[in-house]
Amino acid sequence: MTQFAKETLPISLEEEMRHSYLDYAMSVIVGRALPDARDGLKPVHRRVLYAMHELSNDWNRAYKKSARIVGDVIGKYHPHGDTAVYDTIVRM
């Protein structure tokens, strides 16, 4: 059975929210917005390249429409929105 603390600690709500939000924001920035030092890719870049590999989208094969690639990425790996994926494909 789980044991709970018997006393509460007085903490300022404003201070706790500031501290918690800052921790979350930094984890998002480090995890998603900054490129990885190993290969220079962001997670969305990696997902797009992997989806293109899974579709056998190579230079010597017939082309695939970008909507097909975006649909696969959103459906399998990046369930947020198509704008970031389209933007990533255009910039790559």
What are 73-83's pLDDT values in tens digits?
999 987 788 89
User: How crowded is residue 85: how many other Cβ atoms within 10 Å of its Cβ?
Assistant: 23
Q: Which residues of 40-62 are buried (b: 16+ CB within 10 A; e: fewer)?
A: eebebbebbbebbeeeebeeeee
pTM here is 0.68
User: How crowded is residue 65: how many other Cβ atoms within 10 Å of its Cβ?
Assistant: 8
Which among 89, 87, 83 has a CA at the least distance from the CA of 55? Answer: 89
Residue 1 has pLDDT above 60, yes or no: no
